[in-house]
Amino acid sequence: MTETSDTDLKAAIAALPEADRAKLKAALGGAPAGGKQSAFVFIKPHANTPATLELVKTKFAASGISIITDGEIDGPTIDSKKLIDQHYYAIASKATILKPDALPIPADKFEEKFGEPWSKVLEEKRAFNALDAKAHLEFDEAQLDTVWKAATPADKIVKFGGGFYCALLEPEGKPPIYSFNCFFMSMRGKFTAEKAAIHYFVVEFDPAALSWSKFRGEVLGPTDPAKAPEGSLRATINSDWEKLGLPGVPNVTDNGVHASASPFEGLAERMNWLGKPLAEDPMGEALLDAGITEETIKAWSVDPRVAMPDGKEGSLFDALEDLDLDACLAKAKEIAKAGEAKKAE
């Protein structure tokens, strides 16, 4: 008998039809297709009060949502581990994670806007990401936000792409500098302040009883709490903010709670916030079993633009948004296949 390698065995299993693979996995004691789906939810710092915590737990129980684990992550930890930066990677990568020389600056567009070469600015060290600009100018988040906002009426800001802005900052009494996405810092400060904290939940629910779109739209409510349906968490937090002990009226940014937009996003958020190993997470395991590589899954976790099955490119997170578990897995496989075809061209 010829010995089969682990790689060959995984490839053979991945090649099986979805239904057959689910049966095999169930026979071996694994989770069958159509199992429960898991989201990552957190109460934002401005709303993290004992009363809000009880409200969320009560709402989850009434909606058939099981809390698998929960806990607190404080501001200094969020700051030092850059957890909120990774969470909002597309925006934060330009503000706090990448240095200017690593950013994809379109040099022609920069020079057209500001009248000097990007290479010269880099050489003279006059460009800073938002985090470094804050330190360089010896500003707090509010001061940095003020000089950033002043760039717009002065026509000294340019958009390089989705969520990617550069501005010439001209603080009074200091030499002007260029910086990127400074608007992120005030939001970041709400999560990283010394006394700030989020309360997180890892939750599970049955897609047959509660779809992902209803979980987000009816249990949580839409981003704007003023437009959230009655009884949703965001609507209740918006109407009862004083009773819940919040410091002010909620708004689109400070809307009480966050939740993953898809089963895949739930995986990415558990990996980021909790350091959950990919292969030990049920969604991670399911993606690996579907033949999607660990390298691809990790690359996807920061919401890149990827090749889509229709031949176009788009946001990975947007493509999977509100899909239930099995549909999310099936779409992820199609996207991975499209990516492989693109590489082969």
Residue 263 tokens, joined: 């089963």
Q: Which residue has the tokens 């739209």?
A: 217
193-220 burial, b for 16+ CB within 10 Å, e for fewer?
A: beebbbbbbbbbbbbeebbbeebbebbb
Q: How many Å apart are CA 64 and CA 312, to the nearest integer?
A: 38
Give the span between the Cα atoms of 234 and 237, in whole angstroms.
Answer: 5
Map tokens 């009862």 to a residue.
240
Q: Which residues contact 90 (CB under 8 A, 6 or more apart)?
A: 162, 163, 302, 303
Q: Where are the domains of the chain?
A: 98-188
Q: How far apart are CA 22 and CA 39, in angstroms?
A: 22
Confidence of residue 5 (pLDDT cuts 50, 70, 90): low
Element (H, E) at 127: strand 127-129
Q: Is 174 helix (H, G, I), strand (E, B) or coil?
A: coil
Give dist(CA 175, CA 211) in Å, integer. Answer: 54
pLDDT in tens, 204-257: 999 999 999 999 999 999 999 999 999 999 999 999 999 999 999 999 989 999
273: nearest Cα among 64, 50, 41? 41
pLDDT tens digits for range 100-132:
999 999 999 999 999 999 999 999 999 999 999
Q: What is the pTM of this model?
A: 0.83
Amino acid at 186: S
Among residues 98, 90, 169, the alpha carbon closest in space to that of 134 is found at 169
Mind listing the pLDDT tens digit for each residue in 242-257? Answer: 999 999 999 998 999 9
What are 164-196's pLDDT values in tens digits? 999 999 999 999 999 999 999 999 999 999 999
